Amino acid sequence: MTTTTPAEPSSDLLRPHAEQAFAHELAALAAADDRPRPPGWQLSPAAVVSYLLGGTLPDGTVVTPKYVGPRRLVEVAVATLATDRALLLLGVPGTAKTWVSEHLAAAISGTSALVVQGTSGTGDDALRYGWNYARLLTEGPTPAALVESPVMSAMRTARIARIEELTRIPSDVQDALISILSEKSLPVPELATEVQAAKGFNVIATANDRDRGVNDLSSALRRRFNTVVLPLPATEDEEVEIVARRVAQLGSSLELPTAPAAAEEIRRVVTVFRELRSGRTSDGRTQLKSPSGTLSTAEAISVLTGGLALAAHFGDGVLRSADVAAGILGAVVKDPVADKAVWTEYLEAVVRERSGWADFYRACREVSG
């Protein structure tokens, strides 16, 4: 049997599931939702899209945007899940693949917890089923000795199963999914039975662009998925918005004292990341070398959250350059030699010359040693 989440108050949890953290929004959306819901769905596809992109409901409930990006992408993702094809979210690191998958599962099935974390060590039993060996030895193969995988419980209970980092799973194990996705049934030969998927079952997988080739998807498996590629934020303003929103949310769930006037530092971190990632300054005038790290939006978020913790606990509560400098250095310099040179060049050629960036330059020089 799978264990279920205990009903703890979600405010005491370090990281509540999406369906716990946004339970009030999901309930308000369901109450206002008068469109048809596909079998097994908690909400209509339109309401799922509203949950992801945010908006205000007729009763005044504000639905916070979870994903910032093209509406069409989200519509395609949601529409796919209402068909018999599974959804593959693809993209470079930190483009919110995991985040979107969690929120889609929460909005559609009411749970995002049926998840398999793909690694090179993921075995068949993580996608199909395993056995409780103590019971297997005493009772032999009985239904009570069977340990369902998250995929099997999703099939039985008409929910969405999530598979993280699908391409890291060895190819022969991935192939277990082919029959699950095409037959919608999981045979259990030991019990001479099968689990047939109830309407509402589907799979959302995520995979990292950079991992491509590790265990590339077989074409047979790829055909069972509709692929949606999540892009990097299109503009600096969009990326600043994403980072600011997530930093505020994380800060409040970690109960960090609120640091005001962080907007300037947020924009600065985003600018540095975007410039180094794209290999030129935002005015397009200067070519830059890019460091080896990904400098994703997700890393910008963690640099700023770390900075807030420093400001709150060791500073005067206001986020300053000195609080983010070490975090930026850590994100940029992954390779102590090559990246260090890239960073130093950027500091001296760009940061030093930029008006209003003197404090930031000094703070970076200090931590760069």
Ligand X SMILES: Nc1ncnc2c1ncn2[C@@H]1O[C@H](COP(=O)(O)OP(=O)(O)OP(=O)(O)O)[C@@H](O)[C@H]1O
Residue 39 has what DSSP assignment? Answer: T
State the minimum distance, in angstroms, from the CB of residue 322 to Mg ion. 31
Cβ proximity to ligand X: between 155 and 331 the closer is: 331
State the minimum distance, in angstroms, from the CB of residue 210 to Mg ion. 12
The CA distance from 219 to 313, in Å, is 52
Give the pairing of strands 193-196 and 185-188: antiparallel
CB 94 within 8 A of CB 299: yes
State the minimum distance, in angstroms, from the CB of residue 111 to ligand X. 18
CA 358 to each of CA 82, 105, 302, 362: distance values in angstroms, whole numbers, following the listed order: 53, 46, 23, 6
Of these partners, ligand X, Mg ion, none, which one is at the site of residue 259 (CB under 5 to 8 Å by kind)? none
Query: Where does 51-168 show beta strands of DSSP type E?
Result: 55-56, 62-63, 86-91, 115-117, 129-131, 146-148, 160-164
Cβ proximity to ligand X: between 231 and 317 the closer is: 231
State the minimum distance, in angstroms, from the CB of residue 97 to Mg ion. 5
Of these partners, ligand X, Mg ion, none, which one is at the site of residue 208 (CB under 5 to 8 Å by kind)? ligand X
Residue 252, number of CB atoms within 10 A of its CB:
10
Cβ proximity to ligand X: between 98 and 368 the closer is: 98
Residues 6+ apart with CB under 8 A from 364: 321, 325, 328, 329, 347, 351
Cβ proximity to ligand X: between 15 and 199 the closer is: 15
The CA distance from 334 to 261, in Å, is 30
Residue whose CB is nearest to Mg ion in the complex, by number: 98
The CA distance from 236 to 283, in Å, is 12
**Contacts to Mg ion by CB under 5 A:** 97-98
State the minimum distance, in angstroms, from the CB of residue 36 to ligand X. 28
Nearest to 66 by CA among 257, 195, 241: 241
Of these partners, Mg ion, ligand X, none, which one is at the site of residue 17 (CB under 5 to 8 Å by kind)? none
Q: Which helix (H) or strand (E) holds 321?
A: helix 321-332
State the minimum distance, in angstroms, from the CB of residue 10 to ligand X. 17
Residue 356, number of CB atoms within 10 A of its CB:
8
The CA distance from 122 to 120, in Å, is 6
**Contacts to ligand X by CB under 6 A:** 67-69, 91, 93-99, 206, 208, 233, 242, 246, 297-298, 301
Cβ proximity to Mg ion: between 101 and 111 the closer is: 101
Cβ proximity to ligand X: between 38 and 65 the closer is: 65
Of these partners, ligand X, Mg ion, none, which one is at the site of residue 225 (CB under 5 to 8 Å by kind)? none
State the minimum distance, in angstroms, from the CB of residue 244 to ligand X. 11
The CA distance from 145 to 131, in Å, is 6
Cβ proximity to ligand X: between 22 and 67 the closer is: 67
